[in-house]
Structure 1
């Protein structure tokens, strides 16, 4: 299978693309990133643009509800704002449908997500779990559920393929399993060969963005590092940008 090397990859002519890593409920940083991008677009006046969010909108951070509302408004205002789903976003929907105390949502940041909807998630016993789950179901607007359910798993522009976690090596991009697109790690991260397109992803937090021959990882662990990163493509030009806040400790 032939592939595209990062150094040779190009975006569509005349289109600037911003790919933003995992947000995890950090509305203030997402808003700051969008403000920075807006300034660049006003300054540089690209012929066209896209802002792609690579999933994991919710969990761990303080304002998952605010992030969803922000992105609902952004996509309604301009369809060039694109939001992909991540495993935590699917996990949130799964919990609303079936409150599993051992599932992703309950174990990895769902308490903070529930809190952003004004609900104290009870995980100590079945009674408190059922009661707080019922309260959460009532508190999450149907518009939020519809938005999350409707998120695509991937997008593709020029020589780049965008998804949350990565792709199954040597499987055509159009035949990727959605579960791989939001969950895969080892088989994808350790694959040395080229893919049909350079994969832009998040899901696996790193201290700094990873730029490899076959992929770019822009998940910089915002929930503990305080840094939200994005990868920018403008024709053959590629660069990284980030916004950050001081962090006193892990959330």
Structure 2
């Protein structure tokens, strides 16, 4: 039995806890570090008693410093467990490539070349190379990347949960399948779903806070909030802030030189 829905305007965070939910980072360490700096300044300024910073996945690919982003997140979580990280499809795609290199997989086709470069590894995606040499180049790059990625990074990516609930909010990478209870959601939907979720206008058990599908500005709907503002390309990282009944959008921008 699915519970009655709640409207964004009526939704509340847990009493005494401020929530920050940060959208897709995709290798933009500069934006992530700046966002954390702003959040830390707010927490100190407002004398916030308790807080959670929830990262919604897709830490790697496309942007210039995936390795630096993972280093930053590992350190943040070790320093304070209130820094929370969820899994995104690109994070799992990275693990998939390390296990089995696929020239047609997500990693190679959608930004993994840049991830490898952040570890000091060049992987040729086979463009302009006849078949036999492309396969050999892929294997060589894969072995080099395996040697370059610290075990701590692999362990971190494997440890990531797929969702977290706090107050009237449900946080995940991509969204949920409407009509199915939150606790019964399929993992593939949590990290991949788009149209079926986006097109649903009815209220849900919780307000779903997600990324995965880029939008020019944070998208605040009656039943969901999308905070993926294409940080790797736009230079704008976005977060939803929830403090009791108060909700607002926090943006961090760094213009490309």
Q: CA deviation at 1:240?
A: 0.4
Q: Deviations over 1:88-129 (max 9, x none)?
A: 000000000010000000000000000000000122100000
C-alpha RMSD of the superposition: 0.7
Structure 2 gap segments, 5+ residues each = 127-133
Q: Deviations over 1:179-207 (max 9, x none)?
A: 10000000000001111000000000000
CA distance in 1 between partners of 2:204 and 2:100 (Å): 36
CA distance in 2 between partners of 1:169 and 1:123 (Å): 37
CA distance in 2 between partners of 1:123 and 1:200 (Å): 34
1:61 to 52, 60, 63: 63
Q: Deviations over 1:1-36 (max 9, x none)?
A: 410100100000000000000000000100000000
Q: CA deviation at 1:246?
A: 1.3
Query: What does residue 19 of structure 1 align with?
Result: 21
Which runs of structure 1 show a deviation greater than 4 angstroms over 4 or more consecutive aligned residues?
none
CA distance in 1 between partners of 2:106 and 2:209 (Å): 24
Determine whether 1:77 maps to 2:79: yes
Q: Deviations over 1:189-233 (max 9, x none)?
A: 000111100000000000000000000000001121110000000
TM-score, structure 1 length as denominator?
0.98
Structure 1 gap segments, 5+ residues each = none
Q: CA deviation at 1:247?
A: 3.0
Q: Aligned with 2:93: secondary structure? A: helix
CA distance in 1 between partners of 2:50 and 2:147 (Å): 40
1:178 to 161, 184, 187: 187
Query: What does residue 150 of structure 2 align with?
Result: 141
Query: What does residue 189 of structure 1 align with?
Result: 198
Q: CA deviation at 1:52?
A: 0.2
Q: Aligned with 1:93: secondary structure? A: helix
TM-score, structure 2 length as denominator?
0.96
